[in-house]
Structure 1
Amino acid sequence: MRLLVLGGTRFLGRAVAAEAVTRGHEVVCAARGLAGDVPPGARLVKVDRDAPDGLAPLAGERFDAVVDVAPISYDWVSRALEALADRVGHWSFVSSVSAYADFGVPPTGVGDPLLPPRAEHGSRDTLGDDPDRYGSIKVASENAVLRAAGADRSFVVRAGLITGPGDESDRFGHWPARLARGGRVVVPDTDLRTQYVDVRDLAAWIVDAGEKGTTGVYDGIGPSGALLDLLSDVAEAVGGDVEFVRVPEERLAELRVAPWGGPRSLPLWLPATHRYMTARDAGPALAAGLTPRALVDAVAGALDRERELGLDRERKAGLSRAEEEEVLAALGGSAGE
Structure 2
Amino acid sequence: MTAVLILGGTGWLSGHVARGWIAAGAEVTCLARGGRPAPEGATLVEADRAEPGAYDVVAQRDWDEVVDISSDAGHVASACAALAARAAHWTYVSTLSVYAESDVEGADESAALLEPARPDDEYDYGRAKVAAEASVREALGERAAIVRPGLIVGPGDPSDRFGYWVARFAAAADGPVLVPETQGRSAQVIDVRDLADFVVEVGRHRWTGIANAIGDSVPLGDLLADARAAAGHTGDLRHADDEWLQAHDVRFWMGPRSLPLWLPADMNGFSTRTNAVYRGAGGGLRPLTDTLRDTLADERERGLDRERRSGLTREEELAVIAELP
TM-score (norm 2): 0.94
Number of paired residues?
321
Among 196, 205, 208, the residue aligned to 2:201: 208
**Matched residues in 2 for 1:19 and 1:240: separation?**
35
Q: What residue identity is the alignment partner of 2:151?
A: L
- 1:176 is aligned to 166
Among 136, 144, 157, the residue aligned to 1:167: 157
**Matched residues in 2 for 1:208 and 1:54: separation?**
27
3-state SS in 2 of match to 1:317: coil
- 1:254-289: CA deviations, max 9, x gaps? 221111111111000012453321221122211211
3-state SS in 1 of match to 2:89: strand
Higher mean displacement: 302-311 or 314-323: 302-311
**Matched residues in 2 for 1:45 and 1:19: separation?**
19
**Matched residues in 1 for 2:230 and 2:286: separation?**
14
3-state SS in 1 of match to 2:176: strand
**Matched residues in 2 for 1:279 and 1:294: separation?**
18
- 1:72-131: CA deviations, max 9, x gaps? x11111111111111111100011111111113334211111110114388xxx74xxxx
- 1:20 is aligned to 21
**Matched residues in 1 for 2:106 and 2:130: separation?**
17
**Matched residues in 2 for 1:149 and 1:221: separation?**
24
Q: What residue identity is the alignment partner of 1:141?
A: A
Higher mean displacement: 300-309 or 280-289: 300-309
**Matched residues in 1 for 2:132 and 2:323: separation?**
46
Alignment of 1:238-317 (within 5 A): 238-317=231-310
Give the superposition deviation at 1:230.
0.7
The answer on whether the counterparts of 1:47 and 1:57 sit within 8 Å (CA) in structure 2 is no
3-state SS in 1 of match to 2:131: helix
- 1:62 is aligned to 62
**Matched residues in 2 for 1:10 and 1:102: separation?**
30
Alignment of 1:32-181 (within 5 A): 32-34=33-35, 36-71=36-71, 73-120=72-119, 127=123, 133-150=124-141, 152-181=142-171
Q: What residue identity is the alignment partner of 2:97?
A: S
Q: What residue identity is the alignment partner of 1:162?
A: I
The answer on whether the counterparts of 2:20 and 2:196 sit within 8 Å (CA) in structure 1 is yes
**Matched residues in 2 for 1:10 and 1:303: separation?**
21
Q: Which runs of 5+ in 1 are unaligned?
A: 128-132, 333-337
Give the superposition deviation at 1:65.
0.6
The answer on whether the counterparts of 1:105 and 1:276 sit within 8 Å (CA) in structure 2 is yes
Give the superposition deviation at 1:239.
2.5
**Matched residues in 2 for 1:257 and 1:156: separation?**
35
The answer on whether the counterparts of 2:185 and 2:265 sit within 8 Å (CA) in structure 1 is no
Q: Which runs of 5+ in 2 are unaligned?
A: none
Query: How big is the alpha-carbon RMSD for the aligned residues of Structure 1 and Structure 2?
Result: 1.6
Give the superposition deviation at 1:140.
0.8
- 1:218 is aligned to 211
3-state SS in 2 of match to 1:98: helix
The answer on whether the counterparts of 1:11 and 1:165 sit within 8 Å (CA) in structure 2 is no
> Are 1:322 and 2:323 matched, yes or no?
no
Q: What residue identity is the alignment partner of 2:137?
A: L
Alignment CA distance shift 1:208-1:307 (3 Å): same
Q: What residue identity is the alignment partner of 1:79?
A: S
Higher mean displacement: 300-309 or 91-100: 300-309
> Are 1:233 and 2:226 matched, yes or no?
yes
Q: What residue identity is the alignment partner of 2:44?
A: L
Q: What residue identity is the alignment partner of 2:130?
A: V
**Matched residues in 2 for 1:9 and 1:307: separation?**
23
Q: What residue identity is the alignment partner of 1:20?
A: W
TM-score (norm 1): 0.91
The answer on whether the counterparts of 2:107 and 2:272 sit within 8 Å (CA) in structure 1 is no
Give the superposition deviation at 1:58.
1.0
Alignment CA distance shift 1:159-1:23 (3 Å): same
**Matched residues in 1 for 2:276 and 2:231: separation?**
28
Q: Where has structure 1 moved over 6 Å in runs of 4 or more?
A: none
**Matched residues in 2 for 1:97 and 1:329: separation?**
37
The answer on whether the counterparts of 1:146 and 1:154 sit within 8 Å (CA) in structure 2 is yes
